[in-house]
């Protein structure tokens, strides 16, 4: 998926991007709390925390455990792993990356714990996941670990025989589109929307997107977000609208934003980051 750098107001700035180390227990039981400890954290920096895996000799984030959080001075944070993310294995790890206002997660900024043996997991890989041969199932920044099981059902529905099963490439492309569209029904998962404009509604947020093209052929995606919140019993509702624009480039990435993961919506090769 090709995305672009979002030109929007920064909600946070990181000046100390790297942690010295990240430590977790060598064995973890799913759905039970454990302590993750980062050394020398910057209390002013927001971090994203992932479940990661080493598959086919490549280690990378699999899904998001916490989309945006600060770390206490002690660096200790209590987490748990949803049982539905995968099978029991010792190739897992926890990863952490600072969030910046300028770009999406850089591989060089991600720090991993040593390998962790996780037990109590209840899921099995689908034929689609197996056929990927260790390649990412989906963009980890767009996939909350708590919704992995839902996304897996979408993959199994469209690719019951794996990505290399029967069917022409055009048909496989259509099936992939339906799979990603299905992802949109999973809580908090970022979705790709085809076409020049669209509307995405998630978690109390409605985001309307339009794409315009200049005379020079440069495309710009503009998102208008309206969020409705309620504070307390009988409290009035407050509506807030925020606009963000992203200019298309031949290569680029969507800037992460401080928020609960509502997702990145990519339209015609553009990316607009939404918050709910």
Statement to judge: residues 19 and 99 lie in one domain: yes
Question: Into how many domains does the chain fold?
Answer: 3
Backbone φ and ψ of 84, nearest 5°: -90, 5
Give which of 274, 254, 264, 272 is closest to 206, Cα–Cα: 274
Q: CATH no. for residue 80?
A: 2.60.40.10
At 188, list the tokens: 């908090």
Q: What is the mean pLDDT of residues 57-71?
A: 94
Question: Would residue 202 count as lying in a domain?
Answer: yes
**Boundaries of domain holding 166:** 127-183
At 109, list the tokens: 């900024």
Give pLDDT tens digits for 206-239.
333 333 334 444 333 333 333 333 333 333 333 3
Q: Write the Ramachandran bin of 249: left for phi over 0, alpha for psi from -120 to 50, otherwise beta.
A: beta
Torsion of CA 49, 54, 55, 59, to 10 degrees: 70
Statement to judge: residues 108 and 140 lie in one domain: no
Question: Would residue 88 count as lying in a domain?
Answer: yes
The residue with tokens 């899904």 is 63
Statement to judge: residues 88 and 50 lie in one domain: yes
Question: Would residue 8 count as lying in a domain?
Answer: no
Q: What is the mean pLDDT of residues 112-122?
A: 97
Helix (H) or strand (E) holding 170: helix 169-183
Q: How confident is the model at residue 273 (pLDDT cuts 50, 70, 90)?
A: very low
Statement to judge: residues 268 and 211 lie in one domain: yes
78 vs 249, more confident: 78
Whether residue 193 is predicted with pLDDT greater than 90 in this model: the reply is no
Q: How confident is the model at residue 150 (pLDDT cuts 50, 70, 90)?
A: very high
Per-residue pLDDT, 198: 38
Question: Would residue 149 count as lying in a domain?
Answer: yes
Statement to judge: residues 36 and 132 lie in one domain: no
Question: Would residue 254 count as lying in a domain?
Answer: yes
Give which of 116, 109, 182, 174 is closest to 141, Cα–Cα: 109
Give pLDDT tens digits for 82-103.
999 999 999 999 999 998 765 4
Domain stop point among 135, 160, 183: 183
Q: How far is CA 165 from CA 58, 129, 160, 173, in A?
A: 24, 12, 8, 13
| CB 152, CB 92: distance < 8 Å | no
Per-residue pLDDT, 56: 83
Q: In what order do the strands lie in the sheet with 76-79?
A: 22-23, 34-38, 76-79
Statement to judge: residues 157 and 235 lie in one domain: no
Per-residue pLDDT, 169: 78
Domain stop point among 119, 147, 165: 119
Statement to judge: residues 159 and 213 lie in one domain: no
Statement to judge: residues 60 and 133 lie in one domain: no
Question: Would residue 92 count as lying in a domain?
Answer: yes
pLDDT, averaged across the chain: 70
Statement to judge: residues 57 and 110 lie in one domain: yes
Write down the pTM of the prediction: 0.64
Whether residue 21 is predicted with pLDDT greater than 80 in this model: the reply is yes
The residues, any chain, with a CB within 8 Å of residue 190's CB and separated by 6 or more, are 139, 141, 142, 143, 183, 261, 262, 263, 264, 265
């Amino acid at each position: 998926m090709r995305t672009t750098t979002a030109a929007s107001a920064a909600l946070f700035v990181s000046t100390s991007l790297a942690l010295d180390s990240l430590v977790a227990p060598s064995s973890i039981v799913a759905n039970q709390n454990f302590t993750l400890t980062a050394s020398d954290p910057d209390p002013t920096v927001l971090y994203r925390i992932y479940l990661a895996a080493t598959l086919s000799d490549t280690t990378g984030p699999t899904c998001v455990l916490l989309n945006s959080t600060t770390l206490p001075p002690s660096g200790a944070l209590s987490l748990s792993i949803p049982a539905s993310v995968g099978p029991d294995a010792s190739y897992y790890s926890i990863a952490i990356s600072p969030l910046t206002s300028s770009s999406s997660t850089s591989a060089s900024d991600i720090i991993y714990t040593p390998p962790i043996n996780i037990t109590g997991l209840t899921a099995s890989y689908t034929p689609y996941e197996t056929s990927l041969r260790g390649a990412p199932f989906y963009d980890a920044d767009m996939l909350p670990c708590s919704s992995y099981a839902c996304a897996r059902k979408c993959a199994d529905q469209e690719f019951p025989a794996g990505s290399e099963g029967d069917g022409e490439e055009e048909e496989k492309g259509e099936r992939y589109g339906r799979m990603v569209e299905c992802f949109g029904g999973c809580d908090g998962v970022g979705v790709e929307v085809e076409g020049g404009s669209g509307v995405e509604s998630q978690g109390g947020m409605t985001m309307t997107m339009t794409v315009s093209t200049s005379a020079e052929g440069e495309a710009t995606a503009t998102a208008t977000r309206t969020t409705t919140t309620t504070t307390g019993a009988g409290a009035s509702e407050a509506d807030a609208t925020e606009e963000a624009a992203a200019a298309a480039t031949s290569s680029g990435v969507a800037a992460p934003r401080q928020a609960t993961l509502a997702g990145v919506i990519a339209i015609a090769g553009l990316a607009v980051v939404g918050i709910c």
